[in-house]
């Protein structure tokens, strides 16, 4: 199916473990984004990517690593998960990087770090 998907949808892990959240889009959009949504903070940008092998930090990048070896995939890795990284994570993609380019969001991954 065309669109943007995230996996897993729910994940429980323990402090110190490595976790990778997957994001896949079928539109061949150039830009992809990772956000986290927390109560009282709204949506905050973690990392974004303008194309394969091009990534850039957002507002809250600490503790996260991204890669983009293929246009359609943009995995987000928490190298050593902390309780403060308990959140809902949204991946998004857009055709271009201008604000007029609509961002299309995935359904989200709810991550709990114990």
Binding site for other proteins (CB under 8 A): 4, 33, 35, 40-45, 48, 50, 58-59, 90, 92, 97-100, 102-108
Task: Between 14 and 42, name the residue whose CB sits nearer to other proteins.
Answer: 42
Provide, rounded to whole angstroms, the least separation between the CB of residue 15 and other proteins.
26
Provide, rounded to whole angstroms, the least separation between the CB of residue 98 and other proteins.
7
Provide, rounded to whole angstroms, the least separation between the CB of residue 47 and other proteins.
10
Residue 85 phi/psi, 5-degree rounding, is -90, 5
Question: Whats the size of the chain, residue-wise?
Answer: 114
Task: Between 27 and 104, name the residue whose CB sits nearer to other proteins.
Answer: 104
Provide, rounded to whole angstroms, the least separation between the CB of residue 108 and other proteins.
6
Q: Report the candidate in 73, 78, 34, 72 with the shortest Cα–Cα distance to residue 56.
A: 34
For the chain, the farthest-separated pair of C-alpha atoms sits apart, in whole angstroms, at: 39
List the end-to-end C-alpha distance of the chain, in Å, as a whole number.
34
Task: Between 14 and 56, name the residue whose CB sits nearer to other proteins.
Answer: 56
- Spatial neighbors of 38 by CB under 8 A, at least 6 apart, are 44, 87, 88
């Amino acid at each position: 199916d065309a669109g943007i998907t995230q996996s897993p949808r729910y994940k429980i892990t323990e402090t110190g473990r490595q976790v990778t959240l997957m994001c896949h889009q079928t539109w061949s959009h150039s830009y992809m984004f990772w956000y986290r949504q927390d109560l009282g903070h709204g949506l905050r940008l973690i990392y974004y990517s303008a194309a394969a092998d091009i990534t850039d930090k957002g507002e809250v990048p600490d503790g996260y690593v991204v890669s983009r070896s293929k246009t359609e995939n943009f995995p987000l890795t928490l190298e050593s998960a902390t309780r403060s990284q308990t959140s809902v994570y949204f991946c998004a993609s857009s055709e271009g990087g201008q604000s007029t380019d609509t961002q299309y969001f995935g359904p989200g991954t709810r991550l709990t770090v114990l």
